[in-house]
Amino acid sequence: MSDIIKQYEKYVMPTYGRQPVVFVRGNGCFLYDEEGEAYLDFVAGLSINNLGHCHPAVVKAAQAQMAELINTCNLYYSKPGGELAELLSNLSLGGKVFFSNSGAEANECAIKLARKYGHDIGGADKHRIITLENGFHGRTMAALSATAQPEKQAPFKPLVPGFMYVPPNDINAMKAVVDSSVCAIILEVIQGEGGVYPLDEDYLVAVRKLADEHHALLIFDEVQTGLGRTGKLFAWQHSGVMPDVMTLAKSLGGALPIGATVATPEYSDVLSPGMHGSTFGGGPVPCAAGIAVINELTAADFLTSVQTKGDYLRSLLEKLKADGLVSEVRGMGLMLAVDLPEPVAAAIVAEALKNRIILNNTSENTIRFLPPLVVEEGMIKAVVEFLQTALSA
């Protein structure tokens, strides 16, 4: 066992089921272990490395900013935060941005914004928040309370009150619980951690209408789907259903920690000074990296190439389905998953690691694919060929 693994086991809390490998370097779509062995990465840090590992533009921007100013705090202004906020606003909802450090924090801000909005227009009774079963919104207490997965919630009860859960893609179930006491509906356009389950376009349209009728905010959690992962900058752009608030994180900083809560102009000033904060949120270094990320993602033909490569990966996975090796293929762009006929996903992921391929399973039956958006078709083919061999065996 590596000395580093031993060190983790002795000194780091055991909150993760880590794979038995120590990575010391990353470049593009590859990670390298202590012995210098290269691993083809189809997890991308759970979609934080959308531009691949150590992208030159991100490294250059972060290094240059670190040499000038690393951080002060949010009692003052710095240039990168304003520039990144302007980019995000102009590319999405047209309003203002709150910066934090993670997706859970971005969702915490959205939850507080929704509660404050509800109190402003309907008093204390307008506080209920509806989320979807099988969704995932983070592990802080409010974000966990929004995460309708009982096995994740059970050890930490009592949860934050005021949340209610309904099945995804069931508009009648949603209509049954939304009334004047609801201040927000929060959902993922594609349920990522839950197994890559897209919501139907008709459902999104109907939920948008329902939220409007009851003066409730519609909040889209784009922490995993956002920033090019689905072939568009944001997953909601496929349907054209615009939220009132959107949350981002993961890939926004090119693997540096940053979260963002973006609102439309109508809801941008709901929170006033002193109501919310984040000491490190919007620091100059991750914001400088974020500017570099956005510039790369919005370059000519980049997102088109993501969709092309996503279609290619999906076509190969569909062939596995036709051969009976997988039972379902789901997702969009380079955010895909397959269900297996047998509960062997964890074993396949372990076998992949032995073959220097990094995969991820969301359950014993589901393997998720989140490669860097700069992945090449030859890499895609190699991973699917491994999967075909492993499943055949």
The residues that are catalytic are 136, 221, 250
Between CA 163 and CA 274 the distance in angstroms is 25
Between CA 177 and CA 128 the distance in angstroms is 10
Between CA 227 and CA 249 the distance in angstroms is 9
Between CA 334 and CA 371 the distance in angstroms is 7
Between CA 13 and CA 9 the distance in angstroms is 8
Which residue spans within 107-159 are E strands per DSSP? 128-132
Between CA 239 and CA 202 the distance in angstroms is 9
Q: Which candidate, 341, 336, 254, places its Cα nearest to that of 294? A: 254
**How many residues would you count in the chain?**
393
Q: Which candidate, 205, 227, 219, places its Cα nearest to that of 247? A: 219
CA 274 remoteness from chain centre: 28
Q: Are 51 and 254 in contact (CB under 8 A)?
A: yes
Q: Give the other-Cβ count within 10 Å of 144's Cβ.
A: 21
Q: For the chain, percent helix, then strand, then coil, each to nearest 5? A: 40, 20, 40
Q: Which candidate, 333, 336, 368, places its Cα nearest to that of 349? A: 368
Q: Which candidate, 85, 96, 84, 87, places its Cα nearest to that of 267? A: 96
CA distances from residue 126 to 176, 213, 296, 369, 380 in whole angstroms, order as listed? 16, 14, 41, 39, 48
